[in-house]
Amino acid sequence: MNVYLDNIVFELQNAGGISVYWYELLKRMLQEDIDLKIIEGSKGEKNIFKKRLEIDEKYICKDKALPLLIRRYCDVNVRFKEASVFHSSYYRIAKAKAAVNITTVYDFTYEYFRIGFPKAVHSWQKKRAIENSDGIICISENTKMDLLKYNAEIDHRRIKVIYLAAGDSFYPIEKGDLLEDQEIKDIKGKKYILYVGDRSKYKNFKMAVEIVCRLRNVTLVIVGGGRLSQNELGYLHDKLLEDYIHFNHVDSQKLNLLYNYAFCFLYPSEYEGFGIPVLESMQAGCPVVTTHSASIPEVCGDAALMVKDICEESLIGEIEKLHNNSFRKEIKEKSLKNAKKYSWDRTYRETMEFYREVLDRKKKRE
């Protein structure tokens, strides 16, 4: 089976859930005996996941020599000698006759929460990729429902739900290891609530700040999402004074420590295509307080504290339950059990099976 992978996402972001997904697939594919080619326009040097990969030059196919702002929307121009799988990390297609296009649909945040030109361009590119794909991967049943909502004409047989996972770096650790890490020594002795990810409006970051403000002797630890803006810094200082810490970039080992030592992981998001941080937290044995929204209950099962009414009072009520040690222990055990349902090896195996299925289906039609 000939497989062409498009690494465009490593140029579009420095980190993020899509980069994690693409890294995990690519890492495994490089270990397999398959005819693999990787399309790159640049090395994606700033992407923290791309940096972990060692890709031999023999695998590389150069992308068009165009600025990223233009190239990200262009079809990939590759000549295939025979029918070959083409899978883009972010909504590009190959127009060659022999191309078997696979598209992964992550979510519909632009359709639900963005307006104007950015929404129009993103939705156009996504819809075009979907309509020109032989096989479509959705990362949750909720994403599949959204796909069919916005693309009702799509043949269901072209769609496969393949769940994501959390990396092996996330697991319960023996207490006492924290102080050996100098970069996060500031959280020594602090009771803290952890917030991970970007701070888009639908993620309700300000609500998380308000919640920590209303709790006594609690610090907010923020991970990722880029540098805090001046407005965010001002808001944090007004609400929490010095009771917050922001880590712009941490590696998986440090993030695992942060999950392990947190009082809980707070994730007040209104919408997720999957929600990898939720699963990372569970796999580390950290209690999750989140919302009963979109794909979150599908991923969490009964192992998280979820609210349907997304407000400070509801989320604080769930956080307060975790002061009961026996209840906290029960949630941790459920979290660890639920996390075992997911693995990147399974994601990879099901993806390869889907490649073969779609490739065979196209060959039979021809």
Residues 332 and 200 in one domain: yes
Residues 151 and 233 in one domain: no
Residue 298, in any domain of the structure: yes
- The residue that leads in pLDDT, 354 or 66, is 354
Mean pLDDT calculated for residue range 34-56: 88
Mean pLDDT calculated for residue range 346-353: 98
The structure tokens listed for 200 are 């888009």
Residues 334 and 355 in one domain: no
pLDDT at 46: 86
Residues 217 and 327 in one domain: yes
Residues 329 and 348 in one domain: no
Of 236, 329, 220, nearest to 285 by C-alpha is 329
pLDDT at 79: 83
Residue 178, pLDDT > 70, answer no
CATH of the domain at 198: 3.40.50.2000
Residues 139 and 196 in one domain: no
- 58's CB contacts (< 8 A; 6+ apart) are none
Residue 243, pLDDT > 70, answer yes
The structure tokens listed for 267 are 């994730």
pTM of the predicted model as reported, rounded to 2 decimal places: 0.94
Q: Report whether 212 contacts 235 (CB < 8 A).
A: no
Q: Report whether 348 contacts 104 (CB < 8 A).
A: no
Residues 221 and 125 in one domain: no
Residues 349 and 319 in one domain: no
Boundaries of domain holding 132? 2-165+344-365
Residue 171, in any domain of the structure: no
Residues 310 and 220 in one domain: yes
Residues 156 and 142 in one domain: yes
User: 245 forms bridges with which residues in the sheet?
Assistant: 221
Residue 15, pLDDT > 90, answer no
pLDDT single digits (tens) 136-162? 999 999 999 999 999 999 999 999 999
pLDDT class for 37, splitting at 50, 70, 90?
Answer: very high
- Count of domains observed in the chain: 2
Residue 150, in any domain of the structure: yes
Q: Report whether 25 contacts 58 (CB < 8 A).
A: no
Q: How far apart are CA 21 and CA 26, in angstroms?
A: 9
Residue 236, pLDDT > 70, answer yes
